[in-house]
Structure 1
Amino acid sequence: MFGASVTSNDAGLSVPDWPTSFGYLVKVPHLVGGVRFEWSHRMVAGSLVILTLAIAAWTFFVERRSWLRKLALAALGTVVAQAILGGMTVLYLQPPAVSTAHAAVAQTFFCIAVCIAIFTGRKWVEEVPQVEHDTRRPSLFTLTLLSIFVLYVQLILGGMFRHRGMSWWPHVVHAALVAFVLTWTAIRALSVFSKIEAVRKPAIMMLSLLITQLCLGFAAFLTRVAWGKDSVQPELPMVVSTVAHVAVGALLLATTVVLAIQVWRHVPVAFAERVPGTERTPQIA
């Protein structure tokens, strides 16, 4: 949200240097105009790097699961890359490709952090998976992966538009595909595997966030494109709708990742060899 507020307020170059701020690492500058957004964003980012480093160190010394230690290192590498891309946006005067990559990597880090939170939670460790094999084609797991993919593409298209590297219409047109794929995924999850709570809850949340996101996207389009295209500076309705749109988009992507994880655990694809005479024709839904 801090990063979105920087872009929405056109404050990305309010602090012209990096990694220092007006020549200082820790001195608080005069928080006026866009400086308060950009400097606050940098402080939050710095705190996040330190927190991620602590999590990676804790995981390395305490966690027995080697794959989870690697995931924590991936989180650390991602947040460092995110910081470097943030610096490049300032030093190279906000090139659209770099600024969009900065936004995309931020979403990637958020999803990795959510995964770590799930995998280290007591419920994940102690819960016995409620396994129900999926015989349908495409499988629910395939649909969740497709949902993540189309959402990430949508994120990139939105970032390119926000950072003036592309027109608005690819982002709007692709939103229809996102809505279709996510609705298909949610309906499949809720109609076939609703008895599995770990699948049902994120599916409902994903569908709710999708509806909210479409409404916020429409509001952002009205305030930024239809009504605000001739504005000299960002107006409050434009800023609020855009920041909310970005924030809910991040939650939607993370929720879809959670759904994919829970489907992978509770609804494995039926690849095992079947006993003769018990074959079922894959169903299309």
Structure 2
Amino acid sequence: MRNPVTPFRLAAFTALLAFFVIVFGAFVRLSDAGLSCPDWPTCYGKATWPGHAGEIARANEAFPDRPFETHKAWREQVHRMLAGTLGTLVFALALVAAWPRRAHVAALLGAALAAAAGVALYMKAHHGASALLFAFAFAAPLAVAAILPRAWPWRIAVAAFGVVVFQAALGMWTVTLLLKPIVVMGHLLGGLLTFSLLAAVTLALAARTAPTDAQRRLRPIIVAALVLLSLQIALGGWTSANYAALACGADFPTCAGSWWPQTDFREGFVLWRGVGVNYEGGVLDAAARAAIQIAHRLGALVVFGHVLATAILAWRRGLRANAAAVAMLLCTQVALGILNVKLLLPLPVATAHNGVAALLLFSLIALLVRVVPPVAVDRRA
């Protein structure tokens, strides 16, 4: 009897959950709840979060510098639970991709055990040993993906497990390094990379139609669009992590009443600063934040031009549904970015800005899958 839970369905559900985790994570970060649980992976020492008056009192006593806030703590801990569920599903998908090759499955099981042990050691403050275990748990799936004798969607499914392990480490460091901007930005990019890999697997498993020669020639243009969009998303993550979204106030297209206000790009793009600094609320001055905001706006112009041109070319070569989706999401994303500034970063608009960025990334991946030949994969196992 055929198993009703096919790899395609598993991949599709996991990709959908990854998208939800990204959007919910943006909601947590933008509502200033990123440090609402000062420990990791527990929240004030609990698997959920303190609920009774006695538990709250003990939590405040244990962490006097971080008073417990129910409306924030539940958001952070639910996000962690969702991320843990996502990691489990990605692990299951990786096992399906490696099955029944025993050595590869054993390596993935070893990686999962190493990650679990790394978490346990981290909670006991054995940070060096924990880092080594996480490094193995990250590297082993990538090694398996490199040598797996199957079509590329299965190799990507295995590699996604390694990315998820690294994401877990970034989530841990986001808390313990007090919202360090480079870690926060990396966590955002890691989440989007995970979603992108899962989306590529899902779309490849569903692909049936071979592209024409003219459509195949779009491949480098689409890849360039993906690279530019990824760089722009990184800039957006850097803007958010440094609290520079409102560096120009509500002024657009000018910034603080000027087309080119006082800026400090050198200070604004220092990637690594001292450990032990609490970055909640940001530490940069107005000129450095303005530089980040200006860079993000200029990047948006470049991305808009190239991605729109990509959509037009795809439309002319018969990929009209994909092209329309790319163009629609691109214009929506630009509109949301402008509204973020004009409306002073309302939480629903700012969260939607992150979600549409992920959807725009998905639409370009879908377009890329359409212009490469479909691979012969067993969609049942």
- TM-score, normalized by length of structure 2? 0.60
Q: Which amino acid aligns with 1:69?
A: W
Cross-structure match for 2:371: 263
Q: Which amino acid aligns with 1:259?
A: L
Superposition map of 1:97-246 within 5 A: 97-121=182-206, 124=207, 127-133=208-214, 139-164=217-242, 166=289, 167-191=292-316, 193-194=317-318, 199-224=319-344, 238-246=346-354
Cross-structure match for 1:40: 78
Matched, 1:53 2:91: yes
Cross-structure match for 1:77: 162
Q: Which amino acid aligns with 2:36?
A: S
Q: Partners in 2 of 1:216 and 1:62 — Cα distance? A: 46
8 Å CA contact 2:27–2:347 kept in 1: the answer is: yes
CA offset at residue 73 of structure 1? Answer: 1.3
Q: Partners in 2 of 1:219 and 1:157 — Cα distance? A: 18
- Bigger relative contact order (CA 8 A; separation at least 6): 1
Q: Which amino acid aligns with 2:201?
A: I
Q: 1:134 to 1:207 in 2, by over 3 A?
A: closer
Q: Partners in 2 of 1:133 and 1:239 — Cα distance? A: 43
CA offset at residue 61 of structure 1? Answer: 1.7
Secondary structure at the counterpart of residue 34 of structure 1: helix
Q: 1:190 to 1:66 in 2, by over 3 A?
A: closer
Q: Which amino acid aligns with 1:182?
A: V
Q: Partners in 2 of 1:47 and 1:61 — Cα distance? A: 21
CA offset at residue 29 of structure 1? Answer: 3.2
Moved over 4 A (4+): none
Q: Which amino acid aligns with 1:243?
A: T
Q: Which amino acid aligns with 2:77?
A: W
Provide structure 2 residue ranges, at least 5 long, that are not aligned to the other structure.
1-22, 52-68, 102-148, 243-267, 269-288, 375-381
Q: Partners in 1 of 2:48 and 2:78 — Cα distance? A: 12
Q: Partners in 1 of 2:30 and 2:333 — Cα distance? A: 17
Secondary structure at the counterpart of residue 59 of structure 1: helix
Report sequence identity in percent: 32
Q: Which amino acid aligns with 2:181?
A: P
Q: Partners in 2 of 1:80 and 1:217 — Cα distance? A: 31
Secondary structure at the counterpart of residue 16 of structure 1: coil
Provide structure 1 residue ranges, at least 5 long, that are not aligned to the other structure.
229-237, 267-285
Q: 1:160 to 1:132 in 2, by over 3 A?
A: same
Cross-structure match for 2:50: 29
8 Å CA contact 2:42–2:48 kept in 1: the answer is: no
Secondary structure at the counterpart of residue 14 of structure 1: coil
Q: 1:106 to 1:115 in 2, by over 3 A?
A: same
Residue deviations 1:201-235, cap 9 Å, x none?
Answer: 221101110011111111112233xxx6xxxxxxx
Matched, 1:93 2:178: yes
CA RMSD of aligned residues (A): 2.0
Q: Which amino acid aligns with 2:239?
A: F
Q: Partners in 2 of 1:76 and 1:103 — Cα distance? A: 16
Q: Partners in 1 of 2:33 and 2:209 — Cα distance? A: 49
Q: Which amino acid aligns with 2:30?
A: S
Match among 24, 28, 32 for residue 6 of structure 1: 28
8 Å CA contact 2:322–2:366 kept in 1: the answer is: yes
8 Å CA contact 2:167–2:187 kept in 1: the answer is: yes
